[in-house]
Chains A and B, each alone.
Chain A
Amino acid sequence: MEIFNHDSNIHFLGMRKYTIAIAIFLMVASVALIATKGLNYGLDFTGGVSMVVDYDQPVEIADVRAALEKGGLDHAVVQALGGTREVSIRMQPKDDPAALQAADGKVNLDRIAADVTRTLQAARPDAKLKSRDYVGSEVGAELRSDGTVAAIFVILGIMAYLWIRFERRFAIAAVATEVHDVLVTLGILALVQREFDMTVLASVLAVIGYSINDKVVVFDRIRELFRLARKAEPEEILNRSINNTLSRTIITSLFTGITMGALYFFGGPVVHGFAITMLIGILVGTLSSIFVASPILLWLGVSKKDLMPVTKENPELARRP
């Protein structure tokens, strides 16, 4: 079975002015979104108290909020956790003044949890506390810096590898596209205000891994075609590479997408953020592999002679006595 015509010869690079323009627009828009709306950082980053409450019967988020407000817990963030019977409640310890006073300023998770449960049960007796967390704000700061370090490590590591295995231009093009993918993914997360917690951070880093995978496959084909072709017109080679790998690019994205869809729909609230971020990342990464990475490569001026000597001839020379 084949979904894609193997002779497909879509002139992707012909659209490069538009695709790059769109990519730049998306990046700028993402940066603007992250700067203005910001990411909706979860408890892992901000510190505070988080609880998961289960109801026997479906419940409206607005009702939960109203119940909390009635009990004097005004600043709590209430979110549904996939389904209508489970809600997550986040707040700063200072939002429960009664608990803070009672414990002389010490964070007393037991007390806060009890307060919240009591407040909720006053309105709906079927509310049940399922889990409760407390995270100090220093932990979040550390996580944020760890995440940044990890992202830089990935980008530099990948750049170094591609520089050695391919060539400078490939490394630059890959990393530029990579930055685009991460920014746009974060931009979408900022736009829909999805909670950005530890699993989402892991997912964003995994997106880098996934999307680089995609680019490398196309780059590999470009290198191969350059070496094989007698008369290598870069634009023609790049375009053929994208078309040749098109079927693989889309099939792999579909397969990975299927598993992430299963995780999203059946994996429960803990991995929701992870799965949806990964799905966004797969979509962005796939599109950028086709429309963004190669135009950058062309623009950087890749040519046949850059790729010839590096790996093909050296081993043979080395073998000679």
Chain B
Amino acid sequence: MSDFPRWKYALVALVMLFGVIYALPNVFQPIPAVQVTANRDAPPIDQAVRQKAAAALQQKHVVAGEVIVSKDGHLLATFANSDVQKTGADVIKDALGDGYTVAFKLQPTVPRWLTAIGANSMPLGLDLQGGVHFLMQVDQDDVIDKQETSYADDIRNLMREKKLRYVSANRNAGRGNGIAVAFRTDAERNTAADAMAVAFPDLNVTNGPDTDGHFVVTAKVKPDKLRELAANTIKQNLGTLRNRINALGVSEPLIQQQGEDKIVVELAGVQDPAEAKKLIGATATLEYRAEGGSDAQAAEAARTGNVPPDARLYYERGTGRPILLSKRIIATGNELVDATSSFDSQSGSPSVSVTLNATGAKKMLDFTTGNVGKRMGVVYVERVVDTKVVDGKEVRVPKITQEVINYAVINGVFGKNFQTTGLGSAKEASDLALLLKGGALAAPTDIVEERVIGASLGQDNIDKGFKAVMLGLALVLLAAAIYYKLFGLVADVALFFNLVVLIAIMSMIGVTLTMPGVAGIVLTLGMAIDANVLICERIREELRNGCTPHAAIRAGYEKAWSTILDANVTHLIAALALTTMGTGAIKGFGVTLMIGILTSLFTSVTLTHAFTALIHGHRKLKTLSV
């Protein structure tokens, strides 16, 4: 058959080769390993550490594959299965002590020449390898609250600077309703509104209602700005979570934005979910605030409940001593660059050394310059979310704990670097330093979904999934070969390569393989054969109509093509919709289905055509085996 052009043969051969090479890495299963990283204050990992770990393993009769020091300075120990891995990790943890972080890892075994050309195995989803999954929701309300409060402050400052007299400047009731500034005269209001519009381009300044002689200006944060802030908040939270999780020593964590305000965190392998949750769920931050009143005033305020207008009442951690601090925040945890735990050189008590970024440093410098000798308080803000059941519905109530952890006289002018002392223990100092270094979350984040999948369940799923794919494939191959004979066999080759190319593409673009993804693969295989059924039925029909074998093949492929195209495009539309779903599992299924439809278009039509042409091409045919 001469109407099958040579370049198409070449294309088919190339695609087959590509499929085999890029699907190959999946044959090399990663092996369970334990990765040890030295903490900041511990001696780095060297041969001595390696020997210590190896000896401990040997002593406890834990069989390790190999114990090596990797190029990037980690200690790696491989194990035969996840059970041994778990015991191995415990033994190593005991042997090396607190200075090291021990984490579970899957060590890839893909040969270097494959990874060099970008061929990697498909990452496995949690349902296939076990692990913990958290879905976290970022509280965007808090972003609006913070913005409006801070703008209210800024507006008051502006009025003072420009010497504009105002009656009041407060947030309107209801979140997102802006800040209302009241003036005595219309003229004052207009001047102030102009000044505000110039000074704060991100605010929409409008005249509000005039009530009992007060002229009101309403300043609202522009929706664009709010959207931008929300996006930045998510981005910052993602970064923060990444830092915190890296501190856990987990290898290859997945930290992704999902939808508008959610973040997925997946930690593969056997982890301690409680520990992970504690670290990623905590929202602790520091606020540096100026003194807001004397001790006597504070005691008075605590007793009577009358707090001075520009101050807030706090209590000291541990002692419960009432402290008045200014409402204005000097610097917050967001402006913090680095925090390390150490011991205070003077008192010997645990402390945290803090480094601020430029804006934080400038604010701190400005403040301390004029306030040496005054006191400054450090407020530790921790947020926990309560879930209460009200009228049968779950309601989340954030509970915010604010404690003064340090209240001391400012000893000198400082900006970028300073120390926070007064922490309870060395452990508390290092915990706080870790949290602060990880960065404060820009907005509070709640865990709204949590899944813990045992590693054995993962292996179980892999085994079952593999069995289902192989059995499904085998049955269809058999059925096609029986029903369509030689053409069925050609379709079988195509179906097999469809699986190979599908896996190759999924591996190349790094689609995470999950159980719904496996279902997608199986479904794709079942439906990919449809194109061949269409072609074979068509060829049979043409033969019955009296066509010669060659003409029947040609007509069969030609006439079936438009049907195959229409059927696949409509199917593709359905698969596309699945990929738009926010949820990871359905998305994975949709992506698999979509790639599968595209690969099957090629393998079922072009690839089988090439094979058919190759088999029947130069021979005179009386009959076709179809």
Q: Give the secondary structure class of A's interface.
A: helix
Interface residues on A, range: 35 or more
* Stretch touching chain B among A115-123, A147-155, A298-306: A147-155
Bound-complex Cα distance A287 to B582 (A): 32
Q: Is the CB of B468 within 8 A of A262?
A: yes
Bound-complex Cα distance A183 to B93 (A): 56
A216 at the interface (CB under 8 A from B): yes
B576 at the interface (CB under 8 A from A): yes
A206: B residues at CB distance < 8 A: 523, 574, 578, 589, 593
- Shortest distance between the CB of A197 and any CB in chain B (Å): 10
Q: Is the CB of B450 within 8 A of A202?
A: no
Contact of A259 among B385, B522, B534 (CB under 8 A): B522
Contact of B586 among A105, A153, A198 (CB under 8 A): A198
Q: Is the CB of A133 within 8 A of B450?
A: yes
A269-307 interface (Cβ within 8 A of B): 270-271, 274-275, 278
Per-position binary interface string of chain A over residues 142-181, scored 1 when its CB falls under 8 Å from any chain B CB and 0 otherwise: 1100110111011001100110010000000000000000
Q: Is the CB of B451 within 8 A of A158?
A: no
Q: Is the CB of A131 within 8 A of B451?
A: yes
Q: Give the secondary structure class of B's interface.
A: helix
B145 at the interface (CB under 8 A from A): no
A78 at the interface (CB under 8 A from B): no
Which of A136, A138, A209 has the most C-beta atoms of chain B within 10 angstroms of its own C-beta?
A209
Q: Is the CB of B449 within 8 A of A105?
A: no
Contact of A256 among B516, B527, B577 (CB under 8 A): B527
Contact of A216 among B127, B273, B563 (CB under 8 A): B563
Per-position binary interface string of chain B over residues 121-143, scored 1 when its CB falls under 8 Å from any chain A CB and 0 otherwise: 00000010000000101000000
Contact of A268 among B460, B483, B568 (CB under 8 A): B460
Q: Is the CB of B567 within 8 A of A138?
A: no
Q: Is the CB of B533 within 8 A of A251?
A: yes
Bound-complex Cα distance A133 to B135 (A): 11
Bound-complex Cα distance A107 to B593 (A): 36
Bound-complex Cα distance A224 to B590 (A): 32
Contact A131-B457, Cβ < 8 Å, known A217-B567, A254-B479: yes
Contact of B523 among A131, A149, A244, A259 (CB under 8 A): A259
Q: Is the CB of B573 within 8 A of A158?
A: yes
A110: B residues at CB distance < 8 A: 273-274
Which of B530, B534, B562 has the most C-beta atoms of chain A within 10 angstroms of its own C-beta?
B530
Bound-complex Cα distance A104 to B387 (A): 8
Q: Is the CB of B574 within 8 A of A208?
A: yes
A189 at the interface (CB under 8 A from B): no
Per-position binary interface string of chain B over residues 565-579, scored 1 when its CB falls under 8 Å from any chain A CB and 0 otherwise: 011111101111110
Which residues of B are in contact with A by a Cβ distance under 8 Å?
127, 135, 137, 259, 273-274, 384-389, 393-394, 397, 447-454, 456-457, 460-461, 464-465, 467-468, 471-473, 475-476, 479-480, 482-485, 515-516, 518-519, 522-523, 525-527, 529-530, 533-534, 537, 540-541, 544, 559, 562-563, 566-571, 573-578, 580-583, 585-586, 589-590, 593
Give 19 new A-B contacts, CB below 8 A, not counting A248-B537, A257-B526. Answer: A1-B482, A44-B583, A105-B387, A130-B457, A136-B448, A150-B578, A150-B581, A165-B569, A198-B583, A202-B519, A205-B586, A208-B574, A212-B567, A220-B563, A247-B537, A248-B533, A251-B533, A268-B464, A270-B127
Query: Closest 7 CB pairs between A and B?
Result: A209-B574, A136-B448, A259-B526, A268-B464, A259-B472, A256-B526, A262-B472
